[in-house]
């Protein structure tokens, strides 16, 4: 993803519009975003992240810092970003939620956040095609377009302050959460959870299968009559029960055969007796049928004659009905022609109807034209009246416009004069300042006079004090010299040599006077005298300074006094007031001129609109009048044509067309009536030919002979019943006499039928068969039930074995994915294992860059051990730093500030490379590094800048956020952020 342009306003410390052209900045690959701490460098990165994802870059940052506190509350804050990905060029504009003043009354109202996303034809396109303005939809589209969500974006495009150093030092559990969100490996954790759920499910299936085997064995024991059989005893028990059932079945079959034979013998005797009786009955019924056969034949012949007569009568009835319809149709046609007074027939009728229809088709469209004549006349009249009004309005506007230039010239002249007066405002302000300085000098001169008098008095007092103290010191010294012998005598001890004569004997030692001054007193008097002399010197110096200042002010002011200054101040104030009044009048006149120009433009616009409307109206009215005359002539011609087909001239064309429509309806009605009459006559002819054909087919001389052969319904049904009854009875008798049992019964002797003995044999055999059947059924049921239960046992055992086999694979997979020590000694879960492989790729990519920095001293290493101080579970994502100089492993937290920055930067860049590859090769054209470059020494800084510069070889843009002064000398392209006196910040760009 490449950034092209960023615009923002009323965001963070930026009250005014800020525009940054990243495309121009990143021409050389690396650019610098620099400024003092807290000036708003990170706000620019926040603006980029907010434009894309609606949130700030920092994890702890809140959105309420977006709206600038330095901007006018009525100004809408916004961020607009133009960026490019493989999906195209897009522009996104967002406004954060903020409080704006109410339009009426006092207080504020909360303005909700908004977003707009556009697809652009190119970076220079300013409009674009709208994509969406709904925040949820834009969030989905941005993630799709960029190919990264916000977390991935912050780890690959924007590296905010402290974030990737935190990643370096974070415990394995926190690192796992971050990597999981970046690489989307939650699916592997969900897979492990799903496998655990399936493990529980298959374990439940195994338990259920064991329970079903136990239930099946219990049912088998009940069916077989066995006591708690195991799985191995099922088959032998079934075999024994089946053998017993087969033996019982054989005994039942033998008894059943005996009973069946006895029953069959009894039934045979009963059947032969019944057959002899049935044959006798059938012979009697046949004799009765033979006696009534002539009557049945006569009825059948009469029914056949009636059937042929009915066919002829039906056709003859149709002929009579056709003749009636033909007469009615001819009569109706004559009556309709008479009522409509139409004498034409045949082709003449058709031609007249065609002539009328042609006339209607030719003039019908003019009926609507005739209907609109009234409205069109009124419209033409209204248009003429409106044109006259517009002509008068146009004249008024022309008159008003002619007076506008003179009015404008007067306003401009007044404004020029007021501007000349207002131009003296600066000179008036200078005069006021000069008068102020004069007044200050007057006040200073008066104060200086007072200070000089005070200083003179101080000098006099200091001189007197110094003279007195010096004299007192001299007197003390003189008195001490005078009493020096007594001072020396007081100091002598017996045997000490005299300091004057050297003698050791002192017959008359001098003694000091009571008020003899001591050396300390003289020294104190000397110090007091020196201080007094210094005070006198200081006072004299101060007096000289005050006198010099007073002399300067006297010379500067000359004879200027307070009255003169007051007069000058009044004059200067009058000039300032006049200039201010003139400036206000300039603004007022400028507003009047602008309003006058706007009114003039309004009048000109109105004049053009009126002229255009009048021209269009006049042209339209002329055309309408011409078309109205043409339409009037066309309608009159149509009326004349319609009159030629009617008896008199209609009141209007519409009335004439309506009368022609009615005439067409009458002609059509007569034509339809004639057609019906012709069709009815043809039907009569067709029916007559059909009657003659049917008479010949049914062998009747005429219709009357056929009608004589008809039967009424009652008689016909009576004859049909008689014939049908005789036929059914004959068929039943013939079929019965043809039955084999009846035919065989003709030679049977009645004495050979011993029915009672056969019945006794059958009952005894049936009783024996019933007992054998019950025994066989019991044995068979037990064998069948045991076989079914044995099948259930086998199915349950097979299902249990299948479930156990299937569950073993699921349980093993679930235990491996969950890191169970029994199958996975490492204790690392599936999701963590995948993250470990990704993390190894990240560390390898980081080490590729780290080898070129810090003199190759450090490399990063991964471990599945628990990190120091971590009470979380073992993640397999522990990180250590290998110090090549001492060949020892160090914790990341033991690195210095510069080392931490360098190592964490390499780790962040490696993470960005792997995330980019994992995201399907997303192009990451722009990278921001917001970190502490100030912790690096010059040599390491060179290495880091070189490593970042190598990122630009593939076309990447790298933005470095820092306040380090040395970077300004290394990177010419930069964005400079500086605070303003008003409290906000401003941005300048150097390309």
Write the secondary structure of 363-425 as one string of H (helix), E (strand) and C (coil).
HCHHHHHHHCHHHHHHHHHHHHHHHHHHHHHHHHHHHHHHHHHHHHHHHHHHHHHHHHHHCCH
Query: Which position has the token pair 């079903």?
Result: 212
In this structure, the dihedral spanned by the alpha carbons of residues 585, 591, 597 and 603, taken in order and rounded to 10 degrees, is -110
The neighbouring-strand residues paired with 979 are 985
Pairing verdict, β 985-990 and 974-979:
antiparallel
Q: According to the model, what pLDDT value does residue 136 have?
A: 92
Burial class (CB in 10 A: 0-12, 13-18, 19+), 735: exposed
Q: Are 133 and 116 in contact (CB under 8 A)?
A: yes
Dihedrals φ, ψ of 855, to 5°?
60, 30
CA-based nearest residue to 962, from 243, 306, 161? 161
Give the pair of three-digit tokens for residue 324: 């009636």
Q: 3-class SS at 732? A: helix
Which DSSP string corresponds to 309-345?
HHHHHHHHHHHHHHHHHHHHHHHHHHHHHHHHT----
Question: Residue 30 and residue 305: Cα distance in Å, rounded?
Answer: 123
DSSP string covering 134-165: -HHHHHHHHHHHHS--HHHHHHHTEE-TTHHH
CA dihedral over 871, 876, 878, 880, signed as positive or negative: positive
- The pLDDT assigned to 757 comes to 66
Give me 622's structure tokens.
């002329």
Q: Which residue has the tokens 């005069």?
A: 431
Neighbours of 798 (CB within 10 A): 12
Query: What is the spatial distance between Cα 141 and Cα 83, in angstroms, rounded to a whole number?
Result: 14
Residues of the chain short of pLDDT 50, as ranges, are: 869-872
d(CA 525, CA 537) in angstroms, rounded, equals 18
Q: Which two tokens stand for residue 146?
A: 């960029």
The closest of 189, 191, 169, 170 to 181, measured between CA atoms, is: 189
In sequence order, which residues have a C-beta less than 8 Å from that of residue 205 and are 6 or more positions away?
803, 807
Query: What tokens appear for 127 in the block?
Result: 């409009």
CA distances from 985 to 44, 80, 86, 204 (A): 12, 19, 35, 69
Quote the Cα angle for 663-664-669, to 5°: 95
Both tokens of 452, joined, read 């000089």
Q: Distance between CA 446 and CA 561 in Å, rounded? A: 11
Q: Phi and psi of 977, rounded to 5°?
A: -115, 125
The answer to whether 986 and 980 are in contact (CB under 8 A) is yes
Give the pLDDT confidence score for residue 870 in this predicted structure.
Answer: 43
Question: How many angstroms separate the CA atoms of 303 and 966, rounded?
Answer: 135
* First-last CA distance in the chain: 21
Residues 985 and 11: beta-carbon distance below 8 Å: no
Give the pairing of strands 78-85 and 108-111. Answer: unpaired
Q: Which two tokens stand for residue 421?
A: 């007066």
Which residue is it, tokens 């994992």? 918
* CB of 155 closer than 8 Å to CB of 908: yes
Taking a C-beta distance cutoff of 8 angstroms, is the pair 900, 931 a contact? no
pLDDT at 51: 93
CA atoms within 13 A on the CB side of 563: 1
Q: CA-CA distance, 731 to 723, in Å (whole number)?
A: 12
Asked whether 115 and 133 are in contact (CB, 8 A), the reply is yes
Question: Among residues 190, 245, 12, 97, which one has the least CA distance to residue 787?
Answer: 245
Judge whether 66 and 77 are in contact, CB under 8 Å: yes
Q: Which two tokens stand for residue 263?
A: 């029953």
184 sits in the region (left: phi over 0; alpha: psi -120 to 50; else beta) called left
Q: Which two tokens stand for residue 667?
A: 């002609």
| Rg, the chain, Cα only | 66
Which residue, 684, 983, 683, 975, is CA-closest to 8? Answer: 975
Joined together, the tokens standing for residue 110 give 């909360």
Q: Which two tokens stand for residue 836?
A: 């470990």
Residue 946 makes CB contacts below 8 A (sequence gap 6+) with 852
Distance CA 763, CA 936 (A): 123
Q: What is the pLDDT of residue 234?
A: 65
* pLDDT reported for residue 622: 84
Dihedral Cα 559, 563, 568, 573, nearest 10 deg: 160
Q: Which residue has the tokens 């020096």?
A: 484
DSSP one-letter string for 16-82: S-EEEEHHHHGGGSEEEEE-STTSSHHHHHHHHHHHHHSS-SSTT--GGGSB-SSS-TTSPPEEEEE
Residues ≥6 apart with Cβ < 8 Å to 353: 664, 667, 668, 671
Q: What are phi and psi for residue 129, nearest 5 degrees? A: -105, 125
Instruction: Yes or no: say if 706 and 313 are a contact pair by the CB < 8 Å rule.
Output: yes
Q: How far apart are CA 910 and CA 844, in angstroms?
A: 8
Q: Would you state the pLDDT for residue 869? A: 46
**Residues 236 and 229: beta-carbon distance below 8 Å:** no
Residue 35 Cα to chain centre, angstroms: 38
Query: 957-961 and 18-21: which strand pairing?
Result: unpaired
- Say how far apart CA 930 and CA 164 lie, in whole Å: 10
């Amino acid at each position: 993803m490449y950034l092209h342009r960023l615009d923002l306003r009323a965001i963070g410390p930026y009250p005014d519009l800020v525009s940054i052209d990243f495309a121009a900045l990143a021409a050389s690959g690396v650019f610098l975003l620099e400024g003092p701490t807290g000036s708003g460098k990170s706000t620019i990165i926040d603006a980029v992240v907010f434009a894309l994802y609606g949130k700030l870059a920092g994890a702890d940052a809140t959105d309420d810092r977006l709206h600038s506190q330095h901007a006018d509350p009525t100004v809408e804050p916004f961020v607009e970003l133009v960026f490019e990905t493989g999906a195209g060029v897009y522009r996104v504009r967002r406004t954060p939620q903020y409080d704006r003043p109410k339009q009426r009354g006092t207080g504020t109202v909360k303005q909700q956040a908004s977003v707009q996303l556009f697809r652009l034809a190119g970076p220079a396109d300013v409009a674009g095609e709208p994509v969406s303005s709904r925040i949820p939809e834009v969030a989905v589209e941005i993630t799709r377009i960029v190919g990264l969500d916000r977390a991935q974006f912050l780890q690959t495009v924007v590296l905010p302050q402290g974030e990737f150093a935190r990643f370096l030092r974070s415990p394995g559990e926190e690192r796992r959460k971050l990597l999981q969100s970046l690489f989307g490996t939650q699916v592997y954790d969900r897979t492990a959870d799903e496998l655990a759920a399936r493990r529980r499910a298959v374990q439940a299936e195994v338990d259920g299968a064991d329970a079903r085997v136990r239930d099946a064995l219990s049912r088998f024991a009940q069916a077989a009559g066995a006591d708690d059989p195991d799985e191995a005893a099922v088959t032998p028990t079934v075999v024994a029960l089946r053998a017993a059932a087969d033996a019982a079945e054989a005994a039942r079959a033998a008894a059943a055969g005996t009973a069946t034979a006895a029953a069959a013998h009894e039934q045979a005797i009963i059947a032969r007796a019944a057959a002899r009786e049935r044959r006798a009955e059938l012979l009697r019924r046949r004799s009765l049928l033979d006696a009534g056969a002539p009557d049945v034949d006569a009825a059948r012949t009469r029914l056949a004659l009636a059937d042929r007569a009915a066919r002829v009568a039906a056709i003859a009835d149709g002929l009579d009905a056709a003749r009636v319809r033909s007469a009615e149709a001819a009569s109706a046609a004559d009556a309709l022609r008479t009522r409509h007074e139409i004498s034409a027939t045949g082709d003449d009728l058709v031609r007249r109807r065609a002539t009328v229809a042609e006339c209607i088709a030719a003039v019908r469209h003019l009926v609507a034209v005739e209907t609109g004549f009234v409205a069109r006349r009124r419209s033409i009249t209204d248009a003429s009246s409106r044109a006259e009004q517009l002509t008068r309005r146009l004249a008024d506007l022309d008159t008003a416009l002619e007076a506008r230039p003179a009015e404008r010239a007067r306003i401009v002249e007044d404004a020029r004069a007021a501007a000349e007066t207002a131009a003296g405002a600066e000179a008036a302000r200078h005069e006021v300042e000069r008068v102020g300085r004069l007044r200050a000098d007057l006040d200073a001169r008066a104060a200086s006079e007072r200070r000089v008098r005070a200083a003179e008095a101080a000098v006099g007092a200091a001189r007197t004090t110094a003279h007195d103290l010096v004299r007192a010191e001299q007197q003390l010294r003189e008195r001490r010299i005078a009493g020096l012998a007594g001072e020396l005598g007081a100091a002598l001890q017996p045997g000490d040599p005299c300091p004057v004569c050297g003698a050791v004997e002192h017959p008359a030692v001098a003694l000091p006077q009571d008020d003899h001054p001591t050396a300390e007193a003289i020294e104190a008097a000397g110090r007091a005298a020196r201080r007094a002399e210094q005070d006198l010197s200081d006072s004299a110096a101060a007096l000289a300074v005050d006198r010099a200042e007073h002399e300067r002010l006297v010379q500067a002011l000359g004879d200027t006094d307070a009255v003169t200054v007051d007069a000058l101040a009044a004059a200067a104030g009058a000039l300032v007031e006049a200039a201010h009044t003139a400036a206000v009048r300039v603004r007022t006149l400028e507003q009047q001129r602008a309003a006058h120009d706007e009114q003039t433009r309004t009048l000109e616009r109105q004049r053009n609109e009126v002229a255009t409307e009048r021209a269009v109206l006049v042209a339209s009215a002329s055309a309408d009048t011409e078309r109205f005359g043409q339409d009037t002539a066309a309608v009159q011609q149509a009326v004349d044509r319609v009159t030629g087909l009617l008896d008199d001239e209609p009141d209007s064309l519409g009335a004439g067309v309506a009368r022609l429509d009615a005439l067409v309806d009458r002609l059509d009605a007569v034509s339809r009536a004639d057609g019906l009459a012709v069709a009815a006559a043809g039907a009569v002819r067709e029916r007559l030919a059909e009657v003659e054909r049917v008479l010949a087919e049914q062998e009747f001389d005429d219709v009357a002979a056929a009608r004589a052969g008809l039967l009424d319904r009652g008689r016909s049904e009576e004859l049909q019943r008689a014939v049908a009854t005789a036929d059914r009875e004959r068929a039943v008798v013939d079929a019965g006499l043809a039955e084999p049992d009846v035919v065989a019964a003709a030679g049977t002797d009645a004495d050979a039928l011993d029915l009672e003995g056969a019945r006794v044999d059958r009952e005894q055999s049936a009783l024996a068969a019933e007992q054998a059947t019950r025994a066989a059924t019991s044995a068979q049921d037990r064998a069948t039930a045991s076989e079914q239960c044995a099948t259930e046992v086998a199915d349950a055992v097979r299902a249990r074995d299948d479930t156990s086999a299937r569950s073993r694979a699921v349980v093993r997979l679930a235990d491996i994915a969950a890191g169970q020590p029994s199958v996975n000694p490492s204790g690392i879960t599936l999701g963590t294992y995948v993250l470990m492989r990704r993390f190894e790729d990240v560390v390898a990519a980081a080490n590729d860059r780290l080898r070129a920095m810090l003199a190759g001293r450090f490399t990063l290493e991964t471990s599945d051990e628990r990190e120091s101080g971590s009470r979380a579970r073992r993640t397999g994502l522990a990180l250590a730093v290998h110090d090549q100089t001492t060949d020892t492993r160090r914790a990341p937290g033991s690195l210095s500030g510069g080392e931490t920055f360098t190592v964490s930067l390499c780790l962040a860049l490696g993470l960005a490379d792997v995330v980019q590859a994992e995201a399907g090769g997303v192009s990451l054209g722009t990278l921001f590094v917001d970190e502490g470059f100030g912790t690096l020494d010059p040599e390491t800084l060179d290495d880091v800048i070189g490593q970042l510069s190598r990122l630009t070889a593939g076309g990447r843009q790298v933005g470095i956020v820092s306040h380090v002064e040395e970077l300004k000398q290394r990177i010419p392209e930069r964005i400079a952020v500086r605070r303003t006196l008003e409290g906000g910040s401003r941005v300048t760009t150097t390309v």
